[in-house]
Structures are given as C-alpha cells and as structure tokens.
Structure 1
Amino acid sequence: MTQPSVLFVCLGNICRSPAAEAVVRSLAPHWTLDSAGTGRWHIGEPPYTPMQDAARKRGIDMSDLRARQFTRADFGRFDLILCMDSDNLETVLDMQPKGDTTEVRLFADGPVPDPYYSRDFEGCLNIIQQAAETLVSGR
C-alpha cells in the first residue's frame, strides 16, 4: 500500500479512532490520516484525557486531534475506512453511496473494545498498535 488516505471510525471519536490515527501517524507520517465518530456528542473536543495519558506513556501524542462526525463526503476523501467494531462498520456501510468503491472494513481482526466504558486503555492501545503495525507493513 503506497501513501494511502485512511480514515479511522469509532463511536465518539475521543478514544479508539484518534488513538488509531495517532499510532499509525507515528509509524507512517507520510500517509494522509484522519479519524471520525459515528456519533456527534464530542464534536470539536480533544481525545479523552485517560486515552491521551495512556498513549503519551508510549510516546504517542494525540493532543492536536479534535473529534468530528463521520459524513458521506468521507467516502470521496479516503481510500480506506477502518472501523473499530461491527456496530460502527454497519453504520458506515449503511451510509456508503451506491456504486462507491471505497474499501470499508474493521481495523483489527476483531472489535477494538471501547475503553471509555471498559477503562482498559492499555489493552485498547495494545490492539491498536498490533493492527497499526499490520496495516503499515501491508500484511
């Protein structure tokens, strides 16, 4: 995969998807990356502080990111849309315009559990790190 444009999608865009964006950015700084949420509760907010703290311990800075809502226009802006769980995948696929060929799939081999509810920020980052390494290496 050469310099793709990738969008990461979760529910609120304050934990999983901005963390995925920041981790991939650290591995592939030349890629075009963004993140969004299917919900609109946190538009304009920075990533959730406990997620930022956990990422910072790994040398990942995500403080510059701000939450936004996923829109149909994103299909025209990105080569690949990666969702954090099957609920978000279903929401994104339901919004995909007929005939659009943008690849939409799960980011990891299974769901990335939402640490906003589980409080397992380290476990979430472990899954994100592994999926990010796989994505960047093209495996």
Structure 2
Amino acid sequence: MSKRILFVCLGNICRSPSAHAVTRRLAPGWEIDSAGTSDWHVGEPPYGPMQQAARARGIEMGDLRARQFHAGDFGRFDLIVAMDADNLARIEALRPAGSTTPVRLFTGFAGPDAGDHVPDPYYTRDFDGCLDLIEICAKGLIETA
C-alpha cells in the first residue's frame, strides 16, 4: 500500500528535506514530500552543509526545492510529520475544518529516548547528529506504517 507522507520544518532546507530524502530511500514506493512553515527559502535547494553530510551517507537530496506548507496539504497526504512542536502548532493553525489528517512529531516514531524534536542543524551545526536521529525516526515511521 502506498503512503503519502509530508515532512515539515521551518525553512525546508535542512530537517524536512533530509527526512524526505532518507524516507524515500528507505520506502521507495511511498509518495514523500517536504515543506516549511515559513516562506524564507521557497525555491532554494537544501542547505549546502546538510547536503554534504547526507551525501557522505549516500543520500542525495540535491533535486529537492523548498516550498511552503499550505492548508491544501491536509488533503494531499495521509500523514503530516513535524520536526518540532512549534512547527506542529503552525501546521495545526492551518488545518481546514473537517480535516482528519493526522499530524505527528517525527521523534514520536523513534521511542521515548529520542526527545521531543529534531534539533535544527542550521543553528546547532550538528548535521551528522541530525541525520542520525532522522534515520532512526524514519525507520520507526516505516515500521509503524
């Protein structure tokens, strides 16, 4: 069965495109997309250092381009996955009346030790640590699907 999953972070240049790229590699039959709650980077590729860290693991994301999350995404996806509580709240604020599309935190798929958010490597500079957590979360998501 095909799944339609949308990953969402703030700018759509680090965390959500990384989750997009990792998950599409692990679940090639799924429809995967990513978006940001802000419009800061619309049309831009993922952040260079994030791409470099991913490429070192054999994960390619250079084909992705940032886009902004919009209310219509609730109708296009089976699940919307937020990287942190702030972005989850921004997503929920756009929920159309009657929409039942689930919105969950990505770390919820990684078990209780994963914390409550995927730290933003744009600020932390820990691109490898971010990818480690994203890989754990993606595997957990796939196992629960």
TM-score by length of 2: 0.93
Residue 98 (structure 1) shift:
1.7
Q: Give the superposed CA RMSD.
A: 0.9
Residue 99 in 1 paired to residue 105 in 2?
no
CA–CA distance in structure 1, aligned partners of residues 62 and 3 of structure 2: 23
TM-score by length of 1: 0.97
Query: Equivalences for 1:1-139 in 2 at 5 Å?
Result: 2-109=1-108, 110-138=116-144
Whichever residue aligns with residue 132 of structure 2, its letter is N
How many aligned positions are there? 138
CA–CA distance in structure 1, aligned partners of residues 98 and 92 of structure 2: 12
CA–CA distance in structure 1, aligned partners of residues 91 and 46 of structure 2: 21
- CA deviations 1:27-78 (Å, max 9, x no partner) are 0011000000000010000000000000001110000000000000100100
Report the identity percentage.
62
Gaps of 5+ in 2: 109-115
SS at 1:75 equivalent: helix
CA–CA distance in structure 2, aligned partners of residues 137 and 89 of structure 1: 22
CA–CA distance in structure 2, aligned partners of residues 67 and 81 of structure 1: 16
SS at 2:107 equivalent: coil
CA–CA distance in structure 2, aligned partners of residues 3 and 57 of structure 1: 29
Task: Report 1 or 2 for greater relative contact order, CA contacts < 8 Å, sequence distance ≥ 6.
Answer: 1
Residue 137 (structure 1) shift:
1.6
Moved over 4 A (4+): none
What is residue 111 of structure 2 aligned with on the other side? none
